Amino acid sequence: MTFDHAPFLFGPALLHWVLVFGCFAGIVFSVSVLIALGVYGASGPTAVMGRVWQGLHDFLGISPRRIWAISLLTIKEAVRRKALFVFVVFASLVMFAGWFLESDLRADLQVKNAVSFALTTISWLTLPVVLLLSCWGLPEDIRLRSIHTIVTKPVRRNEIVMGRILGFSIVASLIVSMMGVVGYVWIRRQVPNNAELICRVPVYGELSFLDREGNLTDKGVNTGDIWEFRSYVEGGTRSSAVYKFPMDKVTDNVRFESRFEAFRTHKGRIGQSLLVRYVLVNPTKGLRVPLGSFEVAEFGLNEKDVDRQISFFDEDKNDNRTVDLFDDVVDQNTLTVEVQCLDAGQYLGMARPDMFIRMPDRSFVVGYFKAVVGVLLLSIFLISIGVTSSTFVKGPVSILLTFTVLLVGQGFREFMLKLITGEQKGGGPIESWYRLITHMNDTLQLPDNFGVKLMQSIDNLFMGGLWLVQHLIPDLSYFVMSPYVANGFDVPWSTAMAKCIAMTVGYLVPCLLVGYYSLTLRELEAK
Amino acid sequence: MEKQPVIQIKNLTKIYRDFWGRKKVRALNSLSLEVKKGEVFGLLGPNGSGKTTTMKLLLGLLFPTEGEINVLGKPASDVSKNEWIGYLPEESYLYRFLNAEETLDFYGRLFDMSAQQRKERANQLIEKVGLQNARKRQLKEYSKGMTRRIGLAQALINDPDLVLLDEPTSGLDPLGSRDMKDLIVKLRDEGKSVVMCSHLLADVQDVCDRIAILYAGELKELGSVEDLLKEQHETELLTSKLSPEAVIDIEAVLAKHNAKLLRHGHPTNSLEDLFLKTVQKSQERPGQRYVPTGSEKT
Ligand SMILES: Nc1ncnc2c1ncn2[C@@H]1O[C@H](COP(=O)(O)OP(=O)(O)OP(=O)(O)O)[C@@H](O)[C@H]1O
Ligand SMILES: [Mg+2]
């Protein structure tokens, strides 16, 4: 896995959300107007508008006290139904798990196993409970008609949905935090004496390449490796990888960590690794500061510390010089590092996440509990979906539905993406059929007439629909943060936490709307 | 001095549909009636005649197929009217994992009452419905009558202006139903309006000002209890015990005035008679229904 996702940008994300949500709401609205027109005639659309107006009114008039009352009821119900019992299951699982985890592994692997085990167990125990509770609550309330005593009080239907979601979220928080604490204590005891729990904070940069003549390119050399993840720089030439790291804090010392891959075209010196050199560059000042070369650790980690004051031999001036890392080298809050391979005829491979600046470590607790929060966020996400779906279907169906969302969100999304992007060639479905039947290949120009225009606009609509569907499916893999922690990394705020929070909120809003309308438009009779 | 109506129903029809939208039951057929402020209104009818359906429609729990409903001047779908309404469901569907105090506290919160108010009101109501000894017990341990009582307390938590009681006395012991009737009368004395439906005709006769009799979703009788029970074409005399001679004398007097003694004995035209008669008539002549007279504008 890579720990390096694109960072979360609030502005574009919001725009994207508004776009997807707007399309979705627009479609639902137009379809309801059309149906209303068909069923009720001219008064139909007015009625739909009335509903929208009423909805607006109900959302503005919500009362925190009523929502809290329903949350409290939900919590009491869950507690008295002994939902917290799952915590006991967890505690006993964890108590005996030590026997089954291998203890003759390398120390760091033991740590990794223990952390993964604890976090995975927490999510595997929490999610089913959350799924059951949230999908079962409302349908049961409707079946027993206890909901009649609530909706005959001045309770808005959206308050019921909100109260339920809030209540279940609090139950989930209780379960997850208790498990988190027990899990933490257990991990602490599980760690062997010669290992430590670390939480590294990496800062990643942008990667570009210079070819052997020193010209900028996107990609380095392809050495024929089937996996195109890494690009290669050629040794002994001007070819190099250029990392640009964001640098906005001044520190006494900077540590670079990297994992590079060597690709050999000849044996070279037996028993010696490739020689690598970092060159710090300030492009504005034309300053180049070569650091001492080192042998690359081909299957391990290269660590290189750089002090703030750097002494080096300036080849241009033929003199020893001392520069200040932050005053002289860092340019516009960016630190540029060129990575060069010094062995002629050998190649050095790297990708963006292969090199980072390691900031001062955080405490392991911080990283660990961020991952626990990840589980909680996923629970809240599922609760929103579960409660919403349970407003219009019965418990078992609702569970199935929510579970499907979970499955699809975990892996199926990739497949959908390929399907959709794969179809781009040769136009949409109708156009491709047309081309197929008329034996036109997909590079031939279509005639410019009304039929073709019509065909293409229908196709565009269809592709738009697919686009919407694709963007409605959440990517739930972001919520799984245990790999960061298990591998000794902090859970980054921007690329993981912020995304998950945004995703949870982003889905919560439409869920509230759908839940509100389905509770308002249906008779609350058990059918 | 026409009092303003708290409930207005016009041409209300309710058809239950199944999942696929097919018509299943016509539970109410073009029902029109009004309930005035400050009266106790009784809905009567045999099982399945649409009493509960009417109540649920009033509360917006069901949506009318046709017709208009106005409750406290607002459409039935408007939840803000619930601020002044209390509802006792046919069976008490409450949260079984709560105890009496928690139940009342929960419903109090739904009315935005402060903690202090909730506590006071809960104590008062628990006292009123006689559950002092069971206030800390979970509702799942309650007997049927106890559940009814807490259900009633729940309906009165907000000191409502309009109380809808679906078979309030069912499941209550004689003492309980006596209390219930006293309570209803007391509510009326406080100026509240009460709509209740019941099978127990004696109860209805005791407390209701006006009644409506439903049969198969149609309104068959509507009016004040007194008027309905009064036979317009007969006069009733109540005397001390008469000797046979006295009866003959009276017959002679009546003959002089062109009247006839129909029957003598204990004059009992109870609501039960009326009810049975109405139901019987409806069975014999299904098409006939209540036609409003001049005084009963609907
Ligand atoms: N949810 C429902 N779905 C379908 N039909 C229903 C439903 N609820 C009630 N009905 C039907 O509507 C009719 C009226 O029922 P309702 O419950 O209003 O009667 P009721 O007068 O309250 O009877 P009871 O005295 O037994 O309480 C009945 O025929 C009943 O079968
Ligand atoms: Mg009933």
A42 and A154 assigned to the same domain: yes
Q: Which of B59, B63, B93 sits opposite A146 (nearest CB)?
A: B93
In this prediction, what percent of chain A has a pLDDT beyond 70?
A: 89
Least confident of A376-380, B81-85, B222-226, B291-295: B291-295
Angle, vertex CA B195, rays to CA B193 and CA B201, nearest 5 = 125
What are A247-279's pLDDT values in tens digits?
A: 877 778 888 888 888 887 777 666 677 888 888
Is A349 in a helix, a strand, or coil?
strand
From the number of C-beta atoms within 10 Å of its C-beta (0-12, 13-18, 19+), residue B47 rates as exposed
B55-64, B166-175, B232-241: which is most confident? B55-64
| pLDDT score recorded for residue B123 | 92
Domain count for chain A: 2
Ligand 1 midpoint to CA B51 (Å): 8
| Dist CA B14 CA B33 (whole Å) | 15
Its domain, for residue A497, covers 10-198+361-521
B49 lines ligand 1 (CB under 6 A): yes
Residue A289 has pLDDT above 70, yes or no: yes
DSSP 8-state class, residue B114: -
Whether residue A523 and residue B112 make contact (CB cut-off 8 A), yes or no, is no
Residues of A in Cβ contact (< 8 Å) with B101: none
| pLDDT score recorded for residue A418 | 59
Residues of B in Cβ contact (< 8 Å) with A145: 89, 91, 93
- For residue A527 the two structure tokens come to 């059918």
Residue type, A471: H
| Mutation for testing the A interface, residue in B17, B53, B109, B117 having most A CBs under 10 Å | B109
Find the mean pLDDT for residues A295-301. 79
CB B118 within 8 A of CB B105: yes
Least confident of A85-94, A199-208, B256-265: B256-265
Find the mean pLDDT for residues A146-165. 92
The answer to whether A82 faces chain B, any CB pair under 8 Å, is no
Residue A317 has pLDDT above 90, yes or no: no
Residues of A in Cβ contact (< 8 Å) with B158: 153
CATH 3.40.50.620 fits B5-230+268-284, yes or no: no
- Predicted confidence band at A3 (pLDDT cuts at 50, 70, 90)? low
Residues of B in Cβ contact (< 8 Å) with A147: 93
Whether residue B110 and residue A80 make contact (CB cut-off 8 A), yes or no, is no
| Dist CA A210 CA A225 (whole Å) | 20
Is B83 in a helix, a strand, or coil?
helix
In this prediction, what percent of chain B has a pLDDT beyond 90?
A: 20
In this prediction, what percent of chain B has a pLDDT beyond 70?
A: 87
Residue B298 has pLDDT above 50, yes or no: no
B16 lines ligand 1 (CB under 6 A): yes
| Average pLDDT in chain B | 83
The total of other beta-carbon atoms located within 10 Å of residue A510's CB is: 18
Ligand 1 midpoint to CA B88 (Å): 17
A269 and A298 assigned to the same domain: yes
A368 and A483 assigned to the same domain: yes
A345 and A379 assigned to the same domain: no
DSSP 8-state class, residue A200: B
- For residue B192 the two structure tokens come to 């509240």
| pLDDT score recorded for residue B106 | 93
| Dist CA A182 CA A88 (whole Å) | 10
A425 and A341 assigned to the same domain: no
- Give the contacts of A175 (CB within 8 A, at least 6 positions apart): A83, A84, A86, A87, A126, A129, A130
| pLDDT score recorded for residue A160 | 94
Q: Which helix (DSSP H) or strand (DSSP E) does residue A95 occupy? A: helix A85-100
What are A8-32's pLDDT values in tens digits?
A: 788 888 888 898 888 888 988 899 8
The answer to whether B40 faces chain A, any CB pair under 8 Å, is no
| pLDDT score recorded for residue A427 | 58
Least confident of A1-15, A126-140, B167-181: A1-15
| pLDDT score recorded for residue A195 | 75
Question: A303, A326, A350: which is the final residue of a domain?
Answer: A350
| CA-to-CA dists, residue A399 to A389, B37, B123, angstroms | 8, 47, 41
Residue B105 has pLDDT above 90, yes or no: yes
CB A467 within 8 A of CB A417: no
- Predicted confidence band at B163 (pLDDT cuts at 50, 70, 90)? very high
B50 lines ligand 1 (CB under 6 A): yes
Q: How many helices (H) and strands (E) does chain B have?
A: 9, 10
Find the mean pLDDT for residues A72-94. 83
| pLDDT score recorded for residue B102 | 92
| CA-to-CA dists, residue A70 to A74, A99, A336, B156, angstroms | 6, 43, 56, 19
A124 and A189 assigned to the same domain: yes
Q: Is the pTM of the predicted complex or chain greater than 0.80?
A: yes
A402 and A465 assigned to the same domain: yes
Residue B266 has pLDDT above 60, yes or no: no
B45 lines ligand 1 (CB under 6 A): yes
The answer to whether B71 faces chain A, any CB pair under 8 Å, is no
| pLDDT score recorded for residue A260 | 85
- β-partners of residue A261 are A349
Whether residue A153 and residue B19 make contact (CB cut-off 8 A), yes or no, is no
What are B182-207's pLDDT values in tens digits?
A: 888 888 998 899 999 887 777 788 88
The answer to whether B279 faces chain A, any CB pair under 8 Å, is no
Find the mean pLDDT for residues B10-38. 85
Among B49, B90, B203, B279, which residue has the most ligand 1 atoms within 8 Å of its CB, making it the best to mutate?
B49
| Dist CA B183 CA B173 (whole Å) | 15
| Dist CA A518 CA A157 (whole Å) | 9
| Dist CA A153 CA B111 (whole Å) | 7
| Mutation for testing the B interface, residue in A35, A140, A153 having most B CBs under 10 Å | A153
- Predicted confidence band at B295 (pLDDT cuts at 50, 70, 90)? very low
Residue A378 has pLDDT above 90, yes or no: yes
CATH number at residue A250: 2.60.120
Find the mean pLDDT for residues B66-81. 88
A159 and A24 assigned to the same domain: yes
A235 and A306 assigned to the same domain: yes
Is A209 in a helix, a strand, or coil?
strand
In chain B, domain spans:
5-230+268-284, 232-267
CB B71 within 8 A of CB B163: no
From the number of C-beta atoms within 10 Å of its C-beta (0-12, 13-18, 19+), residue A491 rates as buried
Question: A350, A372, A391: which is the final residue of a domain?
Answer: A350
Whether residue A154 and residue B79 make contact (CB cut-off 8 A), yes or no, is yes
Ligand 1 midpoint to CA A525 (Å): 12
The CA-to-CA distance between both ends of chain A, in Å, stands at: 48
A340 and A371 assigned to the same domain: no
Residue A346 has pLDDT above 80, yes or no: yes
Q: Which is higher by pLDDT, A411 or A457?
A: A457
- Give the contacts of B33 (CB within 8 A, at least 6 positions apart): B7, B9, B212, B219, B222, B298
Say which ligand is closest to the CA of B46.
1
User: Which atom of ligand 1 is the closest one to the Cα of B53?
Assistant: 18
| pLDDT score recorded for residue A98 | 67
A83-87, A403-407, B103-107: which is most confident? B103-107
Residue A156 has pLDDT above 60, yes or no: yes
A473 and A406 assigned to the same domain: yes
A326 and A374 assigned to the same domain: no
Residues of A in Cβ contact (< 8 Å) with B60: 151
Ligand 2 midpoint to CA B90 (Å): 6
CB A304 within 8 A of CB A340: no
| Dist CA B155 CA B184 (whole Å) | 13
Least confident of A83-87, A374-378, A481-485: A83-87
The total of other beta-carbon atoms located within 10 Å of residue A152's CB is: 24
Find the mean pLDDT for residues A332-355. 85
